[in-house]
Amino acid sequence: MSDWWKSAVIYQVYPRSFQDTTGNGVGDLQGITKRLDHIASLGVDVVWLSPIFTSPQADMGYDISDHCDVDPLFGTLDDFDALLSRAHELGLKVIVDQVPSHTSDKHRWFEESRQSRDNPKADWYVWAEAKPDGSPPNNWLSVFGGPAWTWEPRRKQYFLHSFLSSQPQMNFHNPDVEAAILDTMKFWLDRGIDGFRLDSINYPFHDPQLRDNPPREDATDDEWVNPYNVQRHVYDKTRPETVGFLKNVRTLLDQYEGTMSVGEVGEGRGAATIMGEYTKGDDRLHMAYSFEMLGGAFTAKFFRDAIGGFFREAPDGWPCWAFSNHDVIRHVSRWEVDHRDTDALARQGIALMVSLEGTKCLYQGEELGQTETELSYDEIVDPPGLKFWPEYKGRDGCRTPMVWEENADNAGFTTGEPWLPVKPEQAHRAVDTQDGVAGSVLEHYRTVLGFYRDMPALRIGTSEFLEPGEPVLAVRRCCDEGEVLCVFNLSCNPVTLKVDGAATPLGPSCGTLTEDRLELPAHGFVWLDGKDLLVTL
């Protein structure tokens, strides 16, 4: 069907950390191809590859120096074609990261642009004059720390970078820039991919007047760890012109039947409104996600407000939900505060994910109940982690290698020295310790995703949140084929609820129903079949 993506489950692969076949300690495309059967066995629909393009790897591939080739670190275009072919044989679609807002400073476009003010690419990046005292043109800051401006002596101007100084910002007010980015997307679509994940999609446009961002009066002491957090980013990103670019992306994708797009909204506040604006109707992105669900409190109110709030603010938009990815602490470790059983949290996590209205996205290792890796300062490589340590330890803890065989060197990831260490706590959760083992997190994921496939109400049903009270989250999913009440105990203590109506537990529920009483253990959950059911504490 044309909107297949609405009920899809996406599996994110972080190529550096999935499987190394060369012994250089870094994962590669042949390694991903080797492990596609594992991904297919989960029952997911789509593989999302984090960046594989040619890059100096200053930001682990999000600093692209050639949009239309594979970095030798990962392999070749032939390796990519083989991966794509095998994935399609297994019934898996493949999407790749696209980074439209910036490039590497080693990209040929920027190398030309920085030479002078009058070359053919002079206006392809955001350049600005210094203030009379030589300081940057305004108060914009980099996400990775410090001013968002770096001086270029050849042009005697500053260039803008929202991230590293080696990631210069492209000037999307120049139509040639947009055309060039769309051409790079066409390159991969012609190769047969099934769509894109668009990185930092609210960043491409900036305010041409370069007005200062205002302060955030409600910034907390914790947010002051990085001053970027204490500005209201009204001029350096999320500009109204972005919607026009998204429409052009959709026009391109509509020329390739069955393709889709998912945009990352890099915004912690008001993200639902932006997600709705970027996905409403049928002429913009297919869906979007933000960091709202990748953080926040582990409470019924948080989930109710996040999901319910999106559909209230964007009734004709579409969300993609994830609990973990390559940028945040793994969710079982985030949620573990005051919780004792990470495996129970992992099992509840996938049950909760399939019960939420929207597309679902899983991150590699999540299906193993993988926890955040504790790293020392000398083990990390992530630029913001190095800069803001120890208050912010960076993103490496969620990026450590995938574990395949507990007792093999580096848990089967590489025969060499891994780019990030494999530690015993992570190796203990290896695939070979869980595959085929009843009750393991891995087998639970397979069971729950199979159950999801067979439940129309979960795949296409609308949502109605009930409010039985903390710590219980309850959401009714309804469609023409039936309805299901999904109930979750978000605490580490058992709870008892009263059920109003004739109910029958469904699928791999973790709870006990006796007449009108529902017993849920710590992190228990249940799907109930029945019409207009209510639950109360």
* pLDDT values of the chain reduced to their tens digit, one per residue, 537 residues: 479 999 999 999 999 999 999 999 999 999 999 999 999 999 999 999 999 999 999 999 999 999 999 999 999 999 999 999 999 999 999 999 999 999 999 999 999 999 999 999 999 999 999 999 999 999 999 999 999 999 999 999 999 999 999 999 999 999 999 999 999 999 999 999 999 999 999 999 999 999 999 999 999 998 999 999 999 999 999 999 999 999 999 999 999 999 999 999 988 778 889 999 999 999 999 999 998 889 889 999 999 999 988 998 888 899 999 999 999 999 999 997 666 789 999 999 999 999 999 999 999 999 999 999 999 999 999 999 999 999 999 999 999 999 999 999 999 999 999 999 999 999 999 999 999 999 999 999 999 999 999 999 999 999 999 999 999 999 999 999 999 999 999 999 999 999 999 999 999 999 999 989 999 999 999 999 999 999 999
Selected catalytic residue, list 199, 236, 336, 372: 199
Cα(536)–Cα(514) distance, integer angstroms: 15
Task: Establish whether 264 is a catalytic residue.
Answer: yes
Question: Would you tell me how many other CB atoms lie within 10 Å of the CB of residue 297?
Answer: 13
Selected catalytic residue, list 264, 357, 367, 382: 264
Question: Would you tell me how many other CB atoms lie within 10 Å of the CB of residue 503?
Answer: 22
Q: Per residue in 386-423, is it b (16+ CB within 10 Å) or e — as a string?
A: eebeeeebbbbbbbbbbbbebebebbbbbeeebbbebb
Based on the number of CB atoms within 10 Å of its own CB, is 443 exposed (0-12), middle (13-18) or buried (19 or more)? middle
Three-state DSSP class for residue 110: helix
| Residue among 363, 404, 366, 399 at smallest CA distance from 380 | 399
Cα(473)–Cα(306) distance, integer angstroms: 13
Q: Answer whether 58's CB lies under 8 Å from 48's CB.
A: no
Angle between helices 300-313 and 271-279 (to 10 degrees): 40
| Residue among 365, 370, 366, 394 at smallest CA distance from 382 | 394
| Residue among 374, 341, 362 at smallest CA distance from 489 | 341
| Residue among 416, 377, 418, 380 at smallest CA distance from 398 | 380
Cα(297)–Cα(299) distance, integer angstroms: 6
Transcribe 327-377 into DSSP letters.
Answer: TS--HHHHTTTT---HHHHHHHHHHHHHHSSSEEEEETTGGGT--PPP--G
| Residue among 403, 325, 397 at smallest CA distance from 13 | 325
Cα(223)–Cα(404) distance, integer angstroms: 37
Residue 525 Cα to chain centre, angstroms: 25
Angle between helices 242-253 and 175-191 (to 10 degrees): 30
Q: Answer whether 186's CB lies under 8 Å from 206's CB.
A: no
Residue 510's identity, in one-letter code, is C
Kind and range of the H or E element at 1? none
Q: Answer whether 365's CB lies under 8 Å from 349's CB.
A: no
| DSSP structure class, residue 213 | P
Residue 305: φ, ψ to 5°: -70, -40
Cα(279)–Cα(332) distance, integer angstroms: 29
Sorted by where each starts, the structural domains of the chain and their CATH numbers stand as: 4-100+175-202+238-452 (3.20.20.80), 461-536 (2.60.40.1180)
Who's near 68: CB < 8 A, 6+ residues apart?
53, 184, 187, 188
Q: Rounded to the nearest 10 degrees, how much is the dihedral formed by the CA atoms of 302, 305, 308, 314? A: -120
Which structure tokens are listed for 265?
């909204």
Cα(291)–Cα(272) distance, integer angstroms: 10
Residue 334's identity, in one-letter code, is R
**What per-residue confidence (pLDDT) applies to 480?**
95
Phi/psi region, residue 156 (left: phi>0; alpha: psi -120 to 50; beta: rest), is left
Which structure tokens are listed for 482?
């039936």
Cα(310)–Cα(296) distance, integer angstroms: 15
Who's near 216: CB < 8 A, 6+ residues apart?
223, 229, 230, 231, 232
- Strand segments (E) across 161-314: 195-198, 260-265, 287-290
Which structure tokens are listed for 182?
């769309």
Question: Would you tell me how many other CB atoms lie within 10 Å of the CB of residue 226?
Answer: 18
Q: Answer whether 162's CB lies under 8 Å from 235's CB.
A: no
Three-state DSSP class for residue 221: coil
